[in-house]
Amino acid sequence: MTNPFRWRRFGFIGALMFAVGVLVGQQAQRPKFDSYLTPRSVSDLQMQLIDTDLELIRDHLPSVDGFFVPAVGYDARRSCFWGKVRVSPALLKEPADSVRDKLLGEALMTRDILRSRFPKISEAKRNADPDFRMSFFQIENGFSTVAEYTDGKILLK
């Protein structure tokens, strides 16, 4: 005759091992953009020159349709890309719906260009965009953020 407690003990141990395996597997998952964070052999001098070139280009180009040249980056803490762009005062004087539509278009265009370089960025969905955020600012009357693109929508400040 078999001991019923023995089978329960085996079942309990099996379930415990399965649970530990699931927990270890979840901890071993890396953020989806980690592959882009591998070091490259670019010197600090080269990176500073590239950053300076980009800043000079941004500062010397006029605004187009109320937008200056966006800057982009990556926030490793949030595992998400970000963008920021200066907007002209003339754009901000338009009706709120028009401003919101133009800001959304700029955010989605910036996001699409990033996605062409980083295909792991997920498709943008209404009310859900965990891979990209964007802020819009003006500097004419002191620096201030005027809007943000977060979770697939524009929030005017």
Q: Do residues 84 and 22 both lie within one domain?
A: no
- The distance from CA 83 to its chain's CA centroid, rounded to whole angstroms, is 8
- Count up the domains in the chain and report the number: 2
Q: Do residues 1 and 74 both lie within one domain?
A: no
Q: Do residues 97 and 79 both lie within one domain?
A: yes
86 versus 55: the higher-pLDDT residue is 86
Q: Would you place residue 56 in the very low, low, confident or very high pLDDT band (cuts 50, 70, 90)? A: confident
Q: Do residues 69 and 109 both lie within one domain?
A: yes
Domain holding 11, by residue range, is 1-30
Q: Do residues 46 and 22 both lie within one domain?
A: no
Q: Do residues 16 and 43 both lie within one domain?
A: no
What's the rounded Cα separation, in Å, for the pair 25 and 84? 36
Q: Do residues 22 and 87 both lie within one domain?
A: no
Statement: residue 118 has pLDDT above 70:
yes
Q: Do residues 19 and 94 both lie within one domain?
A: no
CB 152 within 8 Å of CB 126: yes
Q: Would you place residue 22 in the very low, low, confident or very high pLDDT band (cuts 50, 70, 90)? A: low
pLDDT in tens, 58-101: 888 888 889 999 999 999 898 999 999 999 999 999 999 999 99
Q: Do residues 75 and 140 both lie within one domain?
A: yes
Q: In what order do the strands lie in the sheet with 153-156?
A: 71-75, 80-86, 132-138, 144-150, 153-156
Q: Do residues 25 and 44 both lie within one domain?
A: no
Q: Do residues 48 and 17 both lie within one domain?
A: no
Statement: residue 12 has pLDDT above 80:
no
What's the rounded Cα separation, in Å, for the pair 84 and 69? 9
Q: Do residues 17 and 38 both lie within one domain?
A: no
pLDDT of residue 11: 66
